Amino acid sequence: DGGITQSPKYLFRKEGQNVTLSCEQNLNHDAMYWYRQDPGQGLRLIYYSQIVNDFQKGDIAEGYSVSREKKESFPLTVTSAQKNPTAFYLCASSIDIRPGGDNQPQHFGDGTRLSIL
Amino acid sequence: AQSVAQPEDQVNVAEGNPLTVKCTYSVSGNPYLFWYVQYPNRGLQFLLKYITGDNLVKGSYGFEAEFNKSQTSFHLKKPSALVSDSALYFCAVSRHGSGNTGKLIFGQGTTLQVKP
């Protein structure tokens, strides 16, 4: 079955440590996204990528970095510069992002819950 | 700037009764509107969307939503609630036409509690 796989499901970060969250999709989607979810705040966009080797900052990119070397993969690194990393992180994908085109519903993985040790 | 408001943190309804989860939006130009559902420790699942056309949109699991342009609302409804509908519901909006970046803006979510 096609879908989005996020790993690990739970992750713990020590102070000063960078950690990387994995996101893989086999939907052949061009666009991929990372969101952060905090209780009572909905989802906030961290980074998104419309195509391989290209990505854009979202609304809360500070303290995070991404890469998009393959169409299927969009890993997120939470750096030590992110002072409040405890949250539920969701990866999503959509067929494409075309200016003037019909938005496609975004498909979501089951998330990674990150906590500080 | 685009924004979405879900005015109720929680909605409680008895099983078998109709349910409504409210959503209002603000966007320049014409909106794309979406509803998603999230079960505990899971990702979001797409329920339905409004792009253009009929103001009443039917989606998954018996849910529907009505687009009201004059009130800038897109309320989620179901004629008869099930206990299994209990979950967190998100409304989202983006702008279509020129300048569409595909980015969704989400509301803060509404917890639906259906009691037997």
pLDDT digits (tens, 9 = 90+) for B10-59: 999 999 999 999 999 998 888 889 999 999 989 999 999 998 888 999 99
Under the banding of pLDDT at 50, 70 and 90, the label for residue B96 is low
Could you give the percent of chain A with pLDDT greater than 70? Answer: 93
The predicted structure's pLDDT at residue B18: 97
Q: Does any CB of chain B come closer than 8 Å to the CB of residue A38?
A: no
Q: Contact B63/B81 with Cβ under 8 angstroms?
A: no
> Where do we find the tokens 């897109």?
B74
At B60 the three-state DSSP class reads: helix
pLDDT at B99 over 80: no
Cis peptide before A105 (omega within 30 of 0): no
Cβ–Cβ contact B39 with A under 8 A: no
pLDDT of residue B68: 95
Higher per-residue pLDDT: A65 or A2? A65
**Residue A34 DSSP SS3:** strand
| Interchain CB contact of A27 with B (< 8 Å) | no
- For B61-114, give the secondary structure using H, E and C: HHCEEEEECCCCEEEEEECCCCHHHCEEEEEEEEECCCCCCCCCEECCCEEEEE
Residue of A26, A29, A63 lying closest to A46 (CA atoms): A63
Looking at residue A37, its pLDDT comes to 96
**Contact check, Cβ <8 Å, B96/A103:** yes
Q: pLDDT confidence of B98, banded at 50, 70, 90? A: low
Q: Which of B43, B49, B101 comes nearest A109 by C-beta? A: B43
Partner-chain residue, chosen from B49, B51, B107, that has the shortest CB–CB distance to A42: B107
Phi–psi pair at B102, nearest 5 degrees? 80, 0
User: From CA A68, how far away is CA A25, in angstroms rounded?
Assistant: 12
Residue A70 exposed, middle or buried by CB count within 10 Å (0-12, 13-18, 19+): exposed
- pLDDT > 70 fraction of chain B, expressed in percent and rounded: 93
Whole-angstrom Cα distance, residue B68 to residue B55? Answer: 7
Q: Do A103 and B109 touch (CB under 8 A)?
A: no
B40: contact with A, CB 8 A cutoff: no
Q: Which residues pair with A64 in a beta bridge?
A: A78
Determine which of A20-24, A39-43, A100-104, B67-71 has the lowest per-residue pLDDT on average. Answer: A100-104
The verdict on a CB contact (< 8 Å) between B104 and A106 is: yes
Q: Does B82 touch chain A (CB under 8 A)?
A: no
